[in-house]
Copies of this chain bind each other. A is one copy, B any other.
Amino acid sequence: MQPDISVVAGLIGDRARSRMLLALMSGKALTATELALDADITAQTASVHLAKLTEAGLLRFSKQGRHKYFRLSHADVAQLLENLLNITAGAIEPDIHTGPADAELRLARVCYDHMAGELGVALFQALKQHGLVTNSPDAPEMTEKGQIFFADVGFKADLRAGKRPVCRNCLDWSERRDHLAGQLGQWILNPKTKESFRFIIF
């Protein structure tokens, strides 16, 4: 037997739950009430939704005092959501008149743990243009120059098998062009080194 897709899909297939999941795509951990507000439902219903999502392994939480902070359990989940976004965004191709709130979202947003939107796409372009990652039709890869550059500013890739790829291209649902995901994408958004670090590549 194949695994049963329908349970996970069914969980996402609810308006309130999907909104909560998308809210967590920002990468920030949010409390149950914040998520309830975002999904426009009461705290009670949010509670059972969140319980289901965590039990299914899509979310994990950490308690802090009387607050319960939820986040996506894994990058896989974010990728799945991104995948869904792309498919549905592609379906409504003739993009309906987009408001100003949209414009902001399209300019810059965070896609789980890396940068997306116009800015994310531009950054990716710049990295390729400066030869730090390859400009391949498939997935990007760090060039030698890139390895030196990023090692120099403190980036350390985890090359063990089973880990997420260092570079991954991620199709932007708003821009319909790639931006950079993977370990490097995450690190650029949130470098772990203390030393100040600036891109002067634009």
Chain A residues close to B by CB (< 8 Å): 1-15, 17-19, 21-22, 56-58, 76-77, 79-81, 83-92, 99, 101-102, 105, 136-141, 157, 159, 165-168, 173, 182
Complex CA gap A173/B89 in Å reads 26
* Option from B1, B102, B136, B159 in Cβ contact (under 8 Å) with A137: B159
Name the residue in A3, A56, A85, A92 with the highest tally of chain B Cβ atoms < 10 Å from its Cβ.
Answer: A3
Complex CA gap A17/B89 in Å reads 21
Task: Report yes or no: A15 in contact with B8, Cβ–Cβ below 8 A.
Answer: no
What are the 9 tightest A-B residue pairs by CB atom distance, in nearest-first order?
A: A139-B139, A10-B13, A13-B13, A9-B12, A138-B165, A9-B13, A6-B18, A3-B88, A5-B18
* Option from B5, B17, B136, B167 in Cβ contact (under 8 Å) with A88: B5
Query: B residues within 8 A CB of A56?
Result: 91
Known contacts A3-B89, A77-B87, A138-B165; 11 additional CB pairs below 8 A are A6-B12, A6-B13, A6-B14, A6-B18, A8-B88, A9-B84, A57-B87, A57-B91, A80-B87, A138-B141, A139-B165
Q: How far is the CB of A155 from chain B (nearest CB, A)?
A: 14
**What residue in chain B is nearest A79 (Cβ atoms)?**
B83
- Known A-B contacts A2-B105, A3-B89, A87-B80; the reply to A138 vs B168 at CB < 8 A is yes
